[in-house]
Amino acid sequence: MVLRLISGNASLSLLSKIRSVAFVMSFFSSVSFAQEIQIVTNDFPPYSFKKNNKMTGLATEILQAILADLKLDIEIKQYPWPRAFKMATTEKNVLIFPLARTLDRENIFNFIGEVAPRTMYFYKLKSRTDIEINAIEDLKKYKHGVVSNYASHKRLIKLGVPNIEAVTNDIQNIQKLAMGRIDLYAQDKVIFSHNIKLYNQVNKEKLSFSDFERAFDFPTEGKGRFLSFGPDADPAIVNKFRKSFDNIKNSGLLDVIKAKYTN
């Protein structure tokens, strides 16, 4: 009986050691996995922005849920969009978001999952009755505000629109549109209305979404806005993130996060 008891305790001790080693190996595997990945975004409310010096937003919260699901601790870094885009396309294992899934990006990026639709319009001041657009060709008559290197910027160039003014963020475009320094600004309603609120926080003269109106549908290509890895990404890492995104979606958490920002 004594021998059996000692043998049993030894077995339990061995099993405990095996579990501890497995936990340590799993921990260091996760750390190593996390060290291989960079995550970049830009100031793009309500999808990704800083609040109280912490990254948040609709797309950011979805990504943070994925990181939690994968037990990864990776810092989300915010850069101007041209720099973030260059990092994603030239460095290894860089996740960029939210990225418009356009036709010319289809065979370049490794798309993880859609965080938002992309339905855009050209907006003008409601008081600008002189602006009239009935066809894409009419767009070439007017001055357009864009954010440098955004998909909308590249789309306008592809359409042959000659008069484009590129800035570094959407708030600048709203200000220029309100002042009549540009004629048209292409954006979706969620982003536009959210950025008007941000504009009003730092400007004495307040704007309302009702000050503007749709002038024409933006001829978008492809699908919505995605979490995406760049072209030089490890397929195993991409697959892990895709599976985790599906877990978040199937659990209903994806819809809960979206509802916080769209309802």
Q: 117-126, pLDDT tens digit by residue?
A: 888 999 999 9
Which CATH number describes the domain made up of 36-117+224-262? 3.40.190.10
pLDDT at 115 over 50: yes
Position with higher pLDDT, 11 vs 190: 190
- Give which of 96, 93, 95, 92 is closest to 151, Cα–Cα: 96
Q: Rounded to two decimals, what is the model's pTM?
A: 0.75
Position with higher pLDDT, 23 vs 187: 187
The mean pLDDT value for 85-95 works out to 97
pLDDT of residue 19: 53
**Given 3.40.190.10, 3.40.630.10, 3.40.50.300, 3.40.640.10, which CATH number is that of 120-217?**
3.40.190.10
Q: State the chain's mean pLDDT as an integer.
A: 88
The full set of domain ranges for the chain reads: 36-117+224-262, 120-217
pLDDT at 5 over 70: no
pLDDT at 41 over 90: yes
The proportion of the chain whose per-residue pLDDT surpasses 90, expressed as a percent, equals 76
pLDDT of residue 33: 59
What contacts 24+ positions apart, CB below 8 Å, involve 153-160? 154/102, 154/104, 155/102, 155/218, 155/219, 155/220, 155/221, 156/186, 159/219
pLDDT of residue 89: 97
Which tokens belong to 167? 């800035």
- pLDDT digit string, tens, across residues 6-29: 344 544 455 455 455 444 444 444
- pLDDT digit string, tens, across residues 236-247: 999 999 999 999
